[in-house]
Amino acid sequence: MKYISTRGEASVLGFNDTLLAGLASDGGLYVPESWPQVGHSNAGVSFAERAAEVIAPFVAGEIPQATLVSLCKDAYATFRDPLVAPLREVGENRWLLELFHGPTLAFKDVALQLIGRLFDHVLKVQGRRITVVGATSGDTGSAAIDGVKACRNVEMVILYPKGRISEVQRRQMTTVDSANVHAVAVDGTFDDCQDLVKAMFNDVTFREQHQLSAVNSINWARVMAQVVYYFTAIEQLHAADSTSVSFSVPTGNFGNVLSGWIARKLGANVGHLIVGSNSNDILTRFFETQTMATTSVVPTLSPSMDIQVSSNFERLLFEMNLRDGKATAKQIGGFRSSGKLSVTSEQFGTWIRPVFRGQRCSDSDTLAMMSHMHEAYGVLVDPHTAVGLVATRACANPNEPVVTLATAHPAKFADAVEQATGVRPTLPEHLGDLMSRTERSTELPNDLSAVQRFVASVSATR
């Protein structure tokens, strides 16, 4: 399998080099040169074994299948539930897909536990060291740190928006006692952090000098690994050959729901993809108007979705442009300069309307849904999952099977859960002392040169 950039100018790479590159040299995002057909399995295999089957075509020719199976088994042995991503029924034709049983209690663990092991394997084979740089709106950072903290050939720098993530999210990054991990609080928003990361990658000299790599969902491997649980959810419902299953996904950066679109492209029996947004509703407005237009970021109870630039949409836009990299680069360039991006009615009617639905959700709607889930089903959900549930209620037909992605453990957002339900969720035993652990972080201004100086000071090439 080879990988090409959404902007059409970067070199074609194999999987290993795509993994380590993260962002393409032309500023685009890597995608497979072609989409394989995977299809469903009725075999009673473990999540790890199924992950290796789904991922196999994407690493073909680079990672032996036996090695891939071993890496997957090692990655998913870290999860507290043997199913890794179990389903919970919450009403007729409605389920939650619990994606928070990993070490850091968020869906990002599903990909990043595997990516840490992929990094270690590939770097050992190539005899290289890298500096992983990422931006987080809350959960990516802690999941990436946990996945990579034991990698001997990786230095990691994670940027997060100061004061805009929950205390649990922050402490999961700042209390990790590993010399190769560096948490950086940036005086700005998540979009500012993401822009700083992209700017460092677009500085080719700096990028090559310090051997930068990415863990955000700009890295293809993140999206690839998330495809797996769409397959396994359908297979748990024994719906591979029956009525299609729709998925409701609370979404900011578009990576998680894009994984659902890819699963559908590969042959998974995915019906509609429902996109839940909070007050930062750029995606909902796009589904309503065919135009993506940025506004100011508004802080909400679901901070991981407080985003106005959904980076992974570029991968879908590339497909909508029939894989014309120049056209995609022109549109993205215009979006960056004007804050607006429109698609044609034909593109919208062909690619968006048949598959996607969207719904915005206010903080009051979020709290009301969290209260309802507790009262009706005895289930505590975090505010991001609640946004997905509001979108399910607004967009799904009663007889339509819908799986809502439960993207984080409620204890990661204990204040919001307590506000909604009167119940304060507790952290799992392995994080029971999190609030008393010593924190270690660096504060930096929203300034590229300052961040680059810091990255250079901790670079893996030192």
Please identify every residue annotated as catalytic. 108
**What distance in Å separates the CA atoms of residue 277 and residue 286, rounded to the nearest whole number?**
11
Strand partners, 277: 360
* Dihedral angle of Cα 443, 444, 445, 447, to the nearest 10 degrees: -160
**What distance in Å separates the CA atoms of residue 148 and residue 119, rounded to the nearest whole number?**
8
Cα–Cα–Cα angle for 352, 355, 359, nearest 5°? 80
Cα–Cα–Cα angle for 448, 452, 454, nearest 5°? 120
HEC profile for 206-235?
A: HHHHCCEEECCCCCHHHHHHHCHHHHHHHH
Residue type, 325: G
Helix (H, G, I), strand (E, B) or coil at 178: coil
**In this structure, what token pair is assigned to residue 181?**
């991990």
Cβ atoms within 10 Å, residue 371: 16
The continuous run of DSSP H or E covering 402 comes out as: strand 402-406
HEC profile for 273-330?
A: EEEEECCCCHHHHHHHHCEEECCCCCCCCCHHHCCCCCCCHHHHHHHHCCCCHHHHHH
**What distance in Å separates the CA atoms of residue 21 and residue 208, rounded to the nearest whole number?**
10
Residue with tokens 């960056």: 336
**What distance in Å separates the CA atoms of residue 59 and residue 221, rounded to the nearest whole number?**
10
Please give the order of strands across the beta sheet that includes 130-135: 212-214, 130-135, 154-161, 181-186, 442-444
Nearest to 46 by CA among 83, 3, 98: 83
